[in-house]
Structure 1
Amino acid sequence: MRSTILSRPAIGPLMFVSVVISLSSLMQPLAAQTPRPSGTTSSNRQTPTVLAIRRASPAVVNIHGQKTVRATAAGMAGATGPDSFRQVNGMGTGVIIDPRGYVITNYHVVEDVDEILVTLDDGSTTTADLVSARVRNDLALIKVSVNRELPTIPRGTSSDLMVGESVIAIGNAFGYVHTSTEGIISALHRDVPVNETQEYSDLIQISAGINPGNSGGPLLNIDGEIIGINVAVRVGAQQIAFAIPVDQVVEIVTEMIDDHNEQRLLTGLRTNGGPRDGDGVTVAHVSASSPAARDGLKPGDRVVRVGSRPIDDRLDFALALLGVTPGEPLELAVERSGRQVDVAMQFDAAPRQASAATVEELAWSAIGIQARPVAESTIRRLNARMRTSYRGGLYITAVRPGSPADQQSIVPGDVMIGIHGWQTSNLADLAEIFDHPDMQRGPRAKFFIVRQEQTLFGHMQLAAQSGVKRR
């Protein structure tokens, strides 16, 4: 049975008095009651906050879904067997940045979700696919399944924020969709450690109410423009919450989309331009014999339109290429020497590496772990306490049952600092280890982990693996 959180007061003397007072007010002469003219609205009610929420709300979506987690994550240490996993409901928020349905949210909102469900502003629900993610920055891009254009969030900048200015947060707080709260910017440039393995940097601290479900939602200025992505709250505190600045979000998401596009398209060009240039994207380099060189693009060209889409910055350009199919004709408008030139482009498909696998996939198949880099601040604290000099480590978040890691009693929470004599400071280090000829023969590798401020080691048998495709 659901607990009651709202209740009506019982009818008693106070209620009776309030009714009497209400009835007596109706007994005033008709002349004393001044009706508001039909069709008019008091200007005092349409405050800047009302207008800001009204402007941004159509581009805010609610995200929900289920993920499978080990029972140990729920405090059932030592649980094994088929009943050691359970389904957990998750919820969060996202913002639409492209009318085709591309949405930014926090990675932890969609991490390991079996099916991403998205509720739009009109109440309709659809599914979404994960396009790209940056785990260390806790950002993800998803694509909503729609066959119509959606409203996009008005974009502001976080470069000129002021402590004390009013801000508004919109989100799926505790499942109450499109909950709006208001506050001020309490501080800027906050570095916030979340746990032993993750730390956010350069965040906006706000006093607006943020709750579970707000993650991934927009932080707005009083003009209704997004200036940040709400990401975290201070547990046990009141009116202490944090958001990722929008300029940082734009830069990271642009890099994510560029990486995704490079896996699909061979363009042969590199571009420059800040997130708020507003006057296009400059071609910085064109590779010889590339599609860009073949079709006439030159360094210094400023791309101002792709197809029918105006291009104001690098994010616009990256998003425009998301819709391009290899071999499909594409019209670009560029400014060259003070005049506009139309360029007919046709990007080739990126070369495929059928035998290659991502380092994440190899870590799971060859070792049996999922891992993420440990925050630098955590390594510094660890080195100070243990009197060591580790450059970094990989925090183990999951272990595959029956894998080499499982057989060697490696558990989530361990920090892997080395394999076969090489340090594992990050996933790039792990990729180089997998690529090394000595590892291709599948040796019995010595590994080192840190557990409860102790360095432990063991040996595991790794199967021979194919090359690594970095991403």
Structure 2
Amino acid sequence: MKLRPASMTRLLRSSVLCLATICTMLAHTAQTASGSNRETPIVRVVREASPSVVNIHGHKTVRAGGLPGQGQSFQQVNGMGTGVVIDPRGYVITNFHVVQDVNDIRVTLADGRPAVARVIAHDLRTDLAVLKIDAREPLPVIRIGTSEDLWVGETVIAIGNAFGYEHTVTQGIVSALHRDVPVNEEQSYTDLIQTSAEINPGNSGGPLLNLDGQMIGINVAVRVGAQGIAFTIPVDQVLDIVSGLIQQKTVNQITHGIRGVTQWNDKDESEFVVTSVASGSSAEKEGVDTGDRILQINGHSVRNHMDFEFAMLELTSRDAIEFEVANTKGDVTLVSLRSQPHPRSSETPATPVAQRIWTSFGIQGEPVAETTMQDLNRRMETAYGAGLKITSVRPGSQADRQGMQSGDVLLGIRNWQTSSLNDLDYILRSDEFRSGSQSQFFIIRSNKTMIGYLQVAQSARRATR
């Protein structure tokens, strides 16, 4: 039977409709398999990085007027910022200005859990600080990239606590590289990344990310009065500074003889490569050689110099250190090293009082000279009588946990003045101090008065029985 033209037209239309339906179904199936078209690279980056970003809140106590000790008054100032988890044990990087002079640092994790943090190291010049969160379980860690190969014009993403709105996401581009930004006579930022991603108050300390989901910098500043001009500390600079800060905390505790640098391999993965091994060290005796790669230390993955230093942070000279090492041929071996402490004769307290304070509280100190105190009072417009300059802080001690640092001037605890080690010894051994649960202390740091709270009653009772 021959089909008439109209019938042929209807058949052709039916065939086209059927083909279109099949194509639509195939396209829908392909879209379902690959994810929604709305799932852009930025969405994937934010989803991956957000669990490693924390929000920081705190209150700064500032002097509102009057002279300390003579009817002075203080007021609380709210502060906020952002931090990035860089070690699963709860170590966080942020800007120092976010936590400077903050008495009680509160952190909110990405899942909404609250936590308390303390500053364990900082660098005023570069405005970086390392915090420690008392984490009950391993925390997700940010992926770290490099700032060495950035392109002007490439897309970047910022995550932060903008104006207190947690985990605010903004995007922009790398606007320029190697910017120097003066702040005041005492501080300036150098070699920064300029970005058009919106950075607002509260974003400080948060990550700037590339489209691979890697952190390429720590957001630090904006140009006041301008739009779309913000600045970020390059991640390579951050890694170098933080590695140095952590190394300063471990150098007097342990030595292994290994030095190395971060390098990137052909797979675009960072590695920690040994550049030298000290003669006579345990590493040399166990066969660690230049060019070897350190893969793990006591179960902690090592991907860069910062990871290497953090892996050492909680170890002591009594701990065995197990390295997973890959040589230049790719052979992987386990090397067990026994650390040896650096000579510390200069840190040994010379008197029974100094030894008692070093053991029970964790500091060494010396009285501040009268002329030095007068100079401090003149610069700060205060009228302090005397103080005890902290010359050393024992890692892991009560003083260390409360954030005291070498160079701080301890003015007093509660109503007692601390003008000497004997004063401090008397306070720590007093019944009034030991019977309390919390004691307020006052220190001078960077020409500013800071207030903290000691919770040392239990340890003080044990130490002085």
TM-score bracket, normalised by the shorter chain, equals 0.5 to 0.7
- Alignment partner of 2:45: what SS? helix
Q: Which residue of 1 aligns with 2:50?
A: 57
Percent identity at matched positions?
A: 48
How far does the alpha carbon of each residue in 1:269-316 deviate from its partner, in whole angstroms, 9 at most, with x for none? 14121354634330513153x554566645554433212233232122
Structure 1 segment 71-86 matched on structure 2, within 5 A: 71=64, 81-86=70-75
Does the CA-based 8 Å contact 1:370-1:399 persist in structure 2? no
Structure 1 segment 42-441 matched on structure 2, within 5 A: 43-71=36-64, 81-267=70-256, 269-274=257-262, 276=264, 278-288=270-280, 290-292=281-283, 297=288, 301-336=292-327, 338=329, 339-352=331-344, 353-355=347-349, 367-368=372-373, 398=380, 401-402=383-384
- Alignment partner of 2:199: what SS? coil
Q: Residues 101 and 198 of structure 1: is their aligned pair in 2 closer, same or farther, counting only changes over 3 Å?
A: same
- Alignment partner of 2:252: what SS? helix
Q: Residues 335 and 225 of structure 1: is their aligned pair in 2 closer, same or farther, counting only changes over 3 Å?
A: closer
Post-superposition shift, 1:130? 1.3
Does the CA-based 8 Å contact 1:272-1:281 persist in structure 2? yes
- Alignment partner of 2:251: what SS? helix
- Alignment partner of 1:259: what SS? helix
Tell me how far apart the structure 2 counterparts of residues 62 and 369 of structure 1 sit (CA, whole Å): 40
- Alignment partner of 1:167: what SS? strand
Query: Structure 2 counterpart of 1:242, which letter?
Result: F
Does the CA-based 8 Å contact 1:162-1:185 persist in structure 2? yes
Aligned residues: 345
Query: Structure 2 counterpart of 1:116, which letter?
Result: I
- Alignment partner of 1:188: what SS? strand
How far does the alpha carbon of each residue in 1:85-111 deviate from its partner, in whole angstroms, 9 at most, with x for none? 322111110001111111110111111
- What 5-or-longer segments of structure 2 have no aligned partner? 1-23, 351-357, 359-363, 388-465
Query: Structure 2 counterpart of 1:325, which letter?
Result: T
Post-superposition shift, 1:204? 0.7
Tell me how far apart the structure 2 counterparts of residues 167 and 219 of structure 1 sit (CA, whole Å): 7
- Alignment partner of 1:266: what SS? coil
Q: Residues 245 and 212 of structure 1: is their aligned pair in 2 closer, same or farther, counting only changes over 3 Å?
A: same
Q: Residues 141 and 369 of structure 1: is their aligned pair in 2 closer, same or farther, counting only changes over 3 Å?
A: farther
Tell me how far apart the structure 1 counterparts of residues 319 and 98 of structure 2 sit (CA, whole Å): 34
Query: Structure 2 counterpart of 1:401, which letter?
Result: A
Tell me how far apart the structure 2 counterparts of residues 186 and 328 of structure 1 sit (CA, whole Å): 48
Tell me how far apart the structure 1 counterparts of residues 375 and 302 of structure 2 sit (CA, whole Å): 38
Tell me how far apart the structure 2 counterparts of residues 362 and 109 of structure 1 sit (CA, whole Å): 30
Q: Residues 194 and 309 of structure 1: is their aligned pair in 2 closer, same or farther, counting only changes over 3 Å?
A: same
Post-superposition shift, 1:127? 0.7
Post-superposition shift, 1:45? 1.4
Query: Structure 2 counterpart of 1:306, which letter?
Result: I
Whichever of the two has the greater Rg, that structure is 2
How far does the alpha carbon of each residue in 1:136-163 deviate from its partner, in whole angstroms, 9 at most, with x for none? 1111111111120111111121111111
How far does the alpha carbon of each residue in 1:214-271 deviate from its partner, in whole angstroms, 9 at most, with x for none? 110001112221111000011111111100011111111111111111132233x141
Does the CA-based 8 Å contact 1:63-1:91 persist in structure 2? yes
Does the CA-based 8 Å contact 1:369-1:398 persist in structure 2? no
Q: Residues 397 and 300 of structure 1: is their aligned pair in 2 closer, same or farther, counting only changes over 3 Å?
A: farther
Q: Residues 398 and 309 of structure 1: is their aligned pair in 2 closer, same or farther, counting only changes over 3 Å?
A: same
Does the CA-based 8 Å contact 2:86-2:93 persist in structure 1? yes
How far does the alpha carbon of each residue in 1:384-410 deviate from its partner, in whole angstroms, 9 at most, with x for none? xxxxxxxxxxxx9856632589xxxxx
Q: Which residue of 1 aligns with 2:449?
A: none
Query: Structure 1 counterpart of 2:110, which letter?
Result: D
Q: Residues 78 and 184 of structure 1: is their aligned pair in 2 closer, same or farther, counting only changes over 3 Å?
A: farther
Tell me how far apart the structure 2 counterparts of residues 235 and 80 of structure 1 sit (CA, whole Å): 37
Post-superposition shift, 1:182? 1.1
Does the CA-based 8 Å contact 2:258-2:283 persist in structure 1? no
Q: Which residue of 2 aligns with 1:387?
A: none
Tell me how far apart the structure 1 counterparts of residues 76 and 368 of structure 2 sit (CA, whole Å): 21
How far does the alpha carbon of each residue in 1:317-351 deviate from its partner, in whole angstroms, 9 at most, with x for none? 11111132331222112244634342212223444
Q: Which residue of 2 aligns with 1:388?
A: none
Q: Residues 337 and 158 of structure 1: is their aligned pair in 2 closer, same or farther, counting only changes over 3 Å?
A: closer
Tell me how far apart the structure 1 counterparts of residues 282 and 192 of structure 2 sit (CA, whole Å): 40
